[in-house]
Copies of this chain bind each other. A is one copy, B any other.
Amino acid sequence: MASKLNTESIRAWLDSHKGWKRRSNQIIKSFRFSSFRDSIVFVNRVATLADTHDHHPNIDVQYDNVTITLSTHDAGGITEKDLKLAEQIDFSTSSN
């Protein structure tokens, strides 16, 4: 099982990953798109990554804005699994 990261490790990661913020036991980022349709395309991309990593973020769609929230419930906090998936999600948007 992935173990909970300490504050220093999370802070270091946040410093080098634009847009992500910590909120207690979660990391969060909002992505803005040019249409609702593009938001949904992104949701499907995130869903595929989530299944690949067997780790499932919360996904909140508000028209052209999608907020991703990551946490590892088993560990009761933020783990490497969250950071890895966050990086993959960022990568999936930058490659378009």
Tell yes or no: A44 within 8 A of B by CB. Answer: yes
Distance, CA A51 to CA B37, complexed state (A): 8
Binary contact readout A54-81 vs B (1 if CB under 8 angstroms, 0 otherwise):
0010111111000000000000000000
Residues of B within 8 A of A50 (CB): 36
Tell yes or no: A89 within 8 A of B by CB. Answer: no
B44 touches A40 (CB 8 A): yes
B60 touches A61 (CB 8 A): yes
Tell yes or no: A47 within 8 A of B by CB. Answer: yes
What's the nearest-Cβ distance from chain B to residue A33, in Å? Answer: 12
Q: A44 is contacted by which of B36, B44, B58, B63 (Cβ under 8 Å)?
A: B44
What's the nearest-Cβ distance from chain B to residue A57, in Å? Answer: 9
Residues of B within 8 A of A58 (CB): 60-63
